Amino acid sequence: SGLVLSAIDGGLTGLVRGFGGALVGLLGLLPFYVLRAMGAGDVKYMAAIGAHLGAALAFQAVVATIITGGILGAMFVLFKGGAAEMASRYADMARISAVMKKVHYVSAPEGSAAAERFPYSSAIVLGTLSILLIQELRFL
């Protein structure tokens, strides 16, 4: 729908704008899918939103989504009582990454609060809406 509406709104230029936004949305969250930190549906959802927004706003929405997702994820773990385990795991990742001189990810142990999934679509919606609200306030 984003590509169709972009094409209707701006013709060929709009279609290219929509593809650019979809690509930014896709590539912005793809590393998290590769690390198994989120599902493919969330990545496709961000790409679809990017098609509506265009590349510049899609980039801002991806950044806002990542920040929002981090906050929501930390709150989720805190409420589930897994903050100490998560802090220890991230300290281990930092130590291992420093020694190996490349980023090393340590998966959360099965059954821990950090291993539970939360609906990342909520972070995508809140991050995107925050960018759209900021854009709207700029034009007032």
If the chain, 140 residues long, is cut into consecutive pieces of 10 residues, what is the mean pLDDT of each piece? 90 94 97 89 96 96 96 87 85 92 84 81 96 89
Query: Nearest-5° angle of CA 91, CA 112, CA 78?
Result: 70
Say how far residue 59 (Cα) sits from the centre of its chain. 10
Q: Which residues contact 130 (CB under 8 A, 6 or more apart)?
A: 64, 68
How far lies 126's CA from each of 7, 65, 80, 120, in Å?
26, 7, 22, 10
What local confidence, expressed as pLDDT, does residue 73 receive? 87
How far lies 108's CA from each of 45, 112, 114, 117, in Å?
25, 7, 6, 11
What local confidence, expressed as pLDDT, does residue 128 receive? 97
Asked if 46 and 26 touch (Cβ cutoff 8 Å), the reply is: yes
